[in-house]
Amino acid sequence: MLQVTVEQQDQQTRLILAGPIDDQAGPALRATLPQMRKQVLVNFSEVEYFNSLGIRTWVNFLRVLRDGREVAYEHCPMDFLQQINMMPALSQGVEIQSFQADFACKSCGFEKSIGFTCRIGKAALREEMGRQVCERCGSSLSLQEDAESLLLFLKE
């Protein structure tokens, strides 16, 4: 079951989501709406997964959340970015500040999720992703998705 933590600071509300976003997430999300301030930052770092019903639940929640508010996402999981790239309504009117990308080492099999900030731009992100090194064997890490496909959500 989705757990939602609400933190308030000045004009900003930070929603920290933990667990699955599925068909059961709606009541937990809607319960936070009365607490929302002018700016909302949604933290996805502890989200386990989104299923198809969760995507629908999120789109419906986002429609209400955006009304009169500025919304931003941080620590978006890679599978959510893939959904955003296929379904822009998931990020319409939202600033995506940061995301997680999954990497693997072809030499030793080590896997790691690495965080990136979107503010550096698409070209710098592609370059930074290409410089990731395995902490176990020192070989290059490979992004588990095509970088260009993953970064479609960025406009530049």
What total of structural domains would you count in the chain?
A: 2
Give the pLDDT confidence of 120-140 residue by residue, as tens digits. Answer: 999 999 999 999 999 999 999
Say which amino acid occupies 128. E
User: Could you list the residue range(s) of the whole structural domain that residue 75 is in?
Assistant: 1-96
Read off the CATH number of the domain in which 4 is found.
3.30.750.24
**Considering Cα of 81, then 96, then 40, then 68, what sign does the dihedral take?**
negative
Give the pLDDT confidence of 85-110 residue by residue, as tens digits. Answer: 999 899 999 999 999 999 999 999 99
Final residue of a structural domain among 96, 114, 130: 96
Give the pLDDT confidence of 70-80 residue by residue, as tens digits. Answer: 999 999 999 99
| pTM for the whole structure | 0.93
Q: Is the pLDDT of residue 48 over 70?
A: yes
Same domain, 88 and 149: no
In contact, 90 and 73? CB cutoff 8 Å: no
